[in-house]
Amino acid sequence: MVWLQAVLPFIQIGLSGLLIAAILLQRTGASLGGAFGADNFSSGFHTRRGLERTLFYVTIILGILFALSALVNLIIS
């Protein structure tokens, strides 16, 4: 258990860095005009394909892993 307490902060730092990078690499669907009420319907309905879909699933998995590592850290502390 002691080794887990020592290693878990480094795992969380790595996961958080990867999660930030995965979120920033994703394509944004909303343009600036959509924030001010312009017609933005066409950009909201598209199918993820290829690398975009893979990056979307990787982001979800990284988020789940980060949440689980935070929960483990809370339990063992």
Question: What's the rounded Cα separation, in Å, for the pair 10 and 37?
Answer: 43
73: Cβ contacts below 8 Å, ≥ 6 apart: 8, 9, 12
What are the structural domain ranges in the chain? 2-76
What type of residue sits at position 32? L
Q: Specify the pTM.
A: 0.76
Pick 7 or 47 by higher pLDDT. 7
Q: For residue range 7-41, what is the model confidence (pLDDT) as tens digits? A: 999 999 999 999 999 999 987 655 555 555 555 55
The Cα–Cα gap between 21 and 18 comes to 5
Three-point CA angle 36, 41, 42, nearest 5°: 125
